[in-house]
Structure 1
Amino acid sequence: MPNILKAAFSSLNQVLILAGLGLFISGCGGSGDSGEKTVTPPVVIQPVDHTLSISVNGSGSVSSNVEGIDCGDDCSNSYADGQQVILTADAASGYVFQGWQGDCSGSSSCELIMNGNKSATAVFVEEVVEPTMFQATVSLSGEGSVTSEDSGINCGTDCNNEYEQNQQVTLTAAASSGYRFESWEGDCSGQAERCQLTMNTDKSAMAKFEVIVIEPTMVRATVSLSGSGRVTSEDGGIDCGNDCQNDYPQNQQITLTAAPDAGFRFDRWEGDCGGQAERCQLTMNSAKNTQARFEAVVVEPTVYQVTVNKSGDGQVVSTDGGINCGADCNNEYEENESITLTATADEGYSFDSWQGDCAGQDASCNLTINSDKNTTAVFVAEPTMYEVSVTLTGNGRVVSEDSNIDCGSNCSENYEENTSVKLIATAHAGYEFKEWTGAGCGTTPSCTFSVTENTEVVALFTEVDDGGNNGADIKISEYAPTGDAFQIGEVSNNASGITWQEDIQQYLVVRNGAAEIYRFNEDFNYMGVITKSGNINSDTEGLAFVGGNRVMVVTEANYAHKAVIDENTTNINGNYNVTPGFRLLPSPASNKGLEGVAVRPADGDTPARVYACQEGTASNSSAHMKVVYFDVPETDPTTLMSYNDDLTVVEPFDAETAFAGVITDCAGMTYDPRTGHLYIVSQESSKAIQVNPATGEVIDQLDLVGAPQYEGVTIGPNGELAFVSESNWIHIFQRP
Structure 2
Amino acid sequence: MSRPSPRKALLYAFVVGLCALFIWYFKVLALGYYWLSTTLGASQWAGNSLWLPGYRVAVEGMPIQGLTRNASGLTFNTETGTLFTVINRPPQIAELTTEGRLLRVVALDGVKDPEGITYVQGDSYVISDEDSHRMYWVQIGRDTQRVSVAGRPSLGIGIDKLHNSSFEGVSWDSVHKRLYVVREKLPMRVLMITGLDPATPSTGFNIDISEWKSSRAASLFMSDLSSVTVHDETGHLLLLSDESALIVEYAPDGRPVSMLPLWRGFNGLQRKVPQPEGVAVGPDGKLYLLSEPNLFYRFERAPAATPSPK
Q: TM-score, normalised by structure 1?
A: 0.32
**Residue from 259, 284, 304 that aligns with 1:701:** 259
1:563–1:572 contact (8 Å) kept in structure 2? yes
Cα RMSD (Å) of the superposition?
Answer: 2.4
In 2, distance between residues paired with 1:591 and 1:657?
A: 26
The 5 A counterparts of 1:69-148 are none
Letter in 2 for 1:680: L
Q: Deviations over 1:3-31 (max 9, x none)?
A: xxxxxxxxxxxxxxxxxxxxxxxxxxxxx
In 2, distance between residues paired with 1:483 and 1:505?
A: 18
1:574 equivalent in structure 2? 149
**Residue from 226, 240, 248 that aligns with 1:667:** 226
Tell me the SS of whatever aligns to 1:522: coil
The 5 A counterparts of 1:49-64 are none
**Residue from 243, 246, 251 that aligns with 1:687:** 246
2:61–2:297 contact (8 Å) kept in structure 1? yes
Tell me the SS of whatever aligns to 1:591: coil
1:525 equivalent in structure 2? 101
Structure 1 residue 720: Cα displacement: 0.8
Q: Does 2:121 match 1:547?
A: yes
Bigger proportion of residues as strand: 1
1:648 equivalent in structure 2? 208
Structure 1 residue 719: Cα displacement: 1.9
Relative distance call for 1:474 and 1:492 in structure 2 (3 A) is closer
Larger Rg: 1
Tell me the SS of whatever aligns to 2:211: coil
Equivalent residue pairs, number: 247
2:229–2:239 contact (8 Å) kept in structure 1? yes
In 1, distance between residues paired with 2:184 and 2:216?
A: 11
Structure 1 residue 497: Cα displacement: 0.9
Q: Deviations over 1:70-116 (max 9, x none)?
A: xxxxxxxxxxxxxxxxxxxxxxxxxxxxxxxxxxxxxxxxxxxxxxx
Q: Does 2:308 match 1:734?
A: no
Relative distance call for 1:712 and 1:532 in structure 2 (3 A) is same
Q: Deviations over 1:243-276 (max 9, x none)?
A: xxxxxxxxxxxxxxxxxxxxxxxxxxxxxxxxxx
Q: Does 2:211 match 1:636?
A: no
1:485 equivalent in structure 2? 61
Q: Please, which runs of 5 or more residues in structure 1 have no aligned partner?
A: 1-468, 617-622
1:562 equivalent in structure 2? 137
- Select the structure with the greater relative contact order (CA < 8 A; seq sep ≥ 6): 2
The 5 A counterparts of 1:256-405 are none
1:488–1:730 contact (8 Å) kept in structure 2? yes
2:65–2:101 contact (8 Å) kept in structure 1? no
In 2, distance between residues paired with 1:680 and 1:552?
A: 18
Tell me the SS of whatever aligns to 1:685: coil
In 1, distance between residues paired with 2:174 and 2:78?
A: 12
1:627–1:655 contact (8 Å) kept in structure 2? no
**Residue from 255, 268, 279 that aligns with 1:713:** 279
Structure 1 residue 675: Cα displacement: 1.4
Structure 1 residue 655: Cα displacement: 9.7
Relative distance call for 1:724 and 1:656 in structure 2 (3 A) is farther
Letter in 2 for 1:633: D
**Residue from 593, 600, 608 that aligns with 2:166:** 593
Q: How much identity, in percent, do the aligned residues show? A: 25
Tell me the SS of whatever aligns to 1:477: helix
Structure 1 residue 680: Cα displacement: 0.8
Q: TM-score, normalised by structure 2?
A: 0.73
In 1, distance between residues paired with 2:283 and 2:213?
A: 30
Relative distance call for 1:716 and 1:663 in structure 2 (3 A) is same
Relative distance call for 1:584 and 1:658 in structure 2 (3 A) is farther
In 2, distance between residues paired with 1:486 and 1:572?
A: 28
1:625–1:656 contact (8 Å) kept in structure 2? no
The 5 A counterparts of 1:199-238 are none
Q: Deviations over 1:52-76 (max 9, x none)?
A: xxxxxxxxxxxxxxxxxxxxxxxxx
Structure 1 residue 659: Cα displacement: 3.4
